[in-house]
Every structure is written in C-alpha cells, then in structure tokens.
Chain A
C-alpha cells in the first residue's frame, strides 16, 4: 500500500467517524428533548423540602 493510498483510506475513515460522532451528539440531544417533553423527572430523589435542614428562626 502506498502512502497516498493510506492517506486516502485514513481520510475517508476520519470523515465517516466524524459523521457518526455528530450523529451521536444529535441523537443524545434528541433523546434528552424527547425525555423532557415526556415529563421525565429532572430532579434527583432528594429534591424535596426538608424542614430539618432549615434554620429555626
């Protein structure tokens, strides 16, 4: 395999990988939007008011 051929293959592989990575980012973003619109909980379990942690006036 000549250097030129290697470069060509490598460039093609990089472009494909780049496209896949961008597609993955778009997919993760879409999943996030879909989950939020579906009403997924955005808070962890402890996101409730805990009076015992509040200062007594």
Chain B
C-alpha cells in the first residue's frame, strides 16, 4: 500500500463507533419490548423467524438512531450529554451516519417483511420515518410538545413485534403502544428538569425551556395520572392477568408518589439537593416500564403452561 492511500484514510475509525451510531441502549429497550410484543401475541411462531423478527426490528430502531445522529449533529455538539456521540466527536462523518441509517433501514424493513409479514415491515418503516423525519427533523426543534408526539416512535416496537407474530393489529397491541406513549412524557420531562441547561443551550424547545420548570412539574404529574389507567387497564385485556395487575397497581402508586414529590418541590429545593427527586423519578420510570413488560412476559409464560386464572376478568 502506498503512503498516499494511507494518508487519505487516516480518519480510519473503530467499528465500535458505528455500533454507537445505532444507540445500543435504546436498542436494548426496543429488543425487550418488541420481543415481549411478539411472545404475548396469539399463535406460535418459528423460533428462527421470531429471532430474526426481533433482530430486524432492533436494527430498524438502530437505523433511525443513526439518521437522528446525522440530522442532530449540530445540536449534539452543543449538549454535554451528547457531545461524545460519534458524529459530533468527529469519529464518524455525518454523511456516513446518514448512509448507515438509510441502508440499515432498507435492510431491516425488507428482511422483517421476508421473515414475518409485510404489515409488520410497513409498521417498522413508518416507525423509522416517524422518528427520523416527524420527530428529529420537524417536531424536536419546533414545539415543546416534541416528546409527547415523538414518543409514538418509541411506542411502536411492541406493536411491530405483535404484528410480526400475529399478522394483525388488535386492542392488546394498541394497549402496549399506549402504555409506552403515555409513559414517555413524564420520563423525558424528569430528565429535562435536571438536564435543562443542555437543552436551553442547544435551543431545543423542551417544555422546561419554553414554559419553565414549574409548568414542567405540573405536566409530569398530569401525564403520570393520565398514564395510570392505561397501565392498569392492560391487566384486563387478553395479555393481562393477576401478576400484571398487582405489579401495575404497585408501580403506578410509586410513580404517582414520585411525580407528586416532583410536583410539590420548588426550584430552590431541587437545586439544593441537585435534583435528587427528579433523578429518582427518572430511574423509577425506567424500572416501571421494564417491570410492566416483564410482567406481561410472565403472564404469557404462565398461560403457555395453562396456569391462568379462568375467572380473571377480561374487559377489553
């Protein structure tokens, strides 16, 4: 190899940087919720096809993450939380991030269609479009309701998993969608409360920036209250049951208590302990969603062993 060719490619980057383009932590949540959606759906699915479906749903999520990093490189560079991402830190060029995102979208949608069905693939395509175009390119920088509507992108994976396994959308799939959709705003606003400086520097109209922290605290409480019926209501669908019910009631009470604490606090009090309650609420929200989906998984496993309560009311 000549010296000149070596010089021109001296920006050789480690493979790991391409992996971080896909937002692995978000992907892990997508893998989990999509897998739960797939497992709790009626009917049985070949194990290889089920594995492939979850893999390509996760890759689709990764693709939208990559497109998001390409588009948001300018604001990621300003925010402390995102400064080390591959594009703003210069490890991967913005153009490459876009190419990875586009190609991975094509591959994941096509392969999901082949492995499961084309309705699931179409839903995945819509999810990527929603996250990359509707959320990243449009809503994020234009309205304080950005994450309320943008939350839909994160809410689709269990529904895609459900459709991959069953071939159709039903009330249970919509129920899982609504659970994540309603959960997203209090989850992100709790984060925004202690990361406000970042968003304000980058000029993103988060609720904390446009309407202030007082209003955000009110919104967190209201949205947590609105989330509760969706969370507990899922217990009375075909995928719910007593385990899910008990857990959803307990977790909802904890989430409501945390949201109330955040609501009652003054900004001075929050600064004094460095947003301790807000951080706690953020962490709790992660456990909340994880445990509720784990409970759905537990219900499905019990049902597969015929260990379900026949008398459990199914309202929806």
CB-CB under 8 A from A30, the residues of chain B are: 48, 52
- Assuming the contacts A3-B6, A31-B114, asked whether A9 and B49 have C-beta atoms less than 8 A apart, the reply is no
Closest B residue to A1 by CB, please name it: B10
Asked whether, in the complex, the Cβ of A9 is within 8 Å of the Cβ of B48, the reply is no
Segment 1-57 of A: residues with Cβ below 8 Å from B = 1, 3, 6, 9-10, 12-13, 16-17, 27-28, 30-31, 33-35, 37-38
Closest to A20 in B: B15
Question: B12 near A27 (CB under 8 angstroms)?
Answer: no
Q: Could you tell me the distance in whole angstroms from the C-beta of B257 to the nearest C-beta in chain A?
A: 46
CA distance in complex: A31, B24 (Å): 25
Given contacts A31-B114, A34-B48, contact A6 B15 (CB under 8 A): no
Contact A34–B12 (Cβ < 8 Å) = no
Contact B48 A31 (CB under 8 A): yes
Question: Size band of the B side of the interface?
Answer: 10 to 19
Q: How far is the CB of B27 from chain A (nearest CB, A)?
A: 15
A33 to B47 CA separation, bound complex (whole angstroms): 12
CB distance from A48 to the nearest CB of B (A): 23
How far apart are B118's CB and chain A's nearest CB, in angstroms? 13
Q: Would you call B14 an interface residue if the criterion is a C-beta within 8 Å of the partner chain's C-beta atoms?
A: yes
Assuming the A-B contacts A6-B12, A12-B15, A17-B15, are A31 and B52 also in contact, with contact meaning beta carbons closer than 8 angstroms in the complex? yes
A31 touches B15 (CB 8 A): no
Closest chain-B Cβ to A45's Cβ sits at a distance in Å of: 15
Nearest-neighbour CB distance to chain A for B16, whole angstroms, equals: 9
What chain A residues lie within 8 Å of B48 (beta carbons)? 30-31, 33-34
Chain A residue contacts of B46, Cβ below 8 A: 34, 37-38
Per-position 1/0 for B137-163, Cβ under 8 A of A? 000000000000000000000000000
Contacts of A12 in B (CB 8 A): 14-15
Cβ of A31 and Cβ of B115 under 8 Å apart? Answer: yes
Chain A residues whose C-beta falls within 8 Å of the C-beta of B55 in the assembled complex:
27
Contacts of B13 in A (CB 8 A): 9
Q: Is the CB of A1 within 8 A of B115?
A: no
With an 8 A cutoff between CB atoms, is B304 at the interface? Answer: no
Which of A6, A16, A27, A28 is within 8 Å of B6, CB to CB?
A6
Q: Are A6 and B9 in contact, CB atoms less than 8 angstroms apart?
A: yes
Q: Can you identify 20 A-B contacts, CB atoms within 8 angstroms?
A: A3-B3, A3-B6, A6-B6, A6-B10, A6-B12, A9-B12, A13-B12, A13-B14, A13-B15, A27-B52, A27-B55, A28-B111, A30-B48, A31-B49, A31-B52, A31-B111, A31-B115, A33-B48, A34-B48, A34-B49
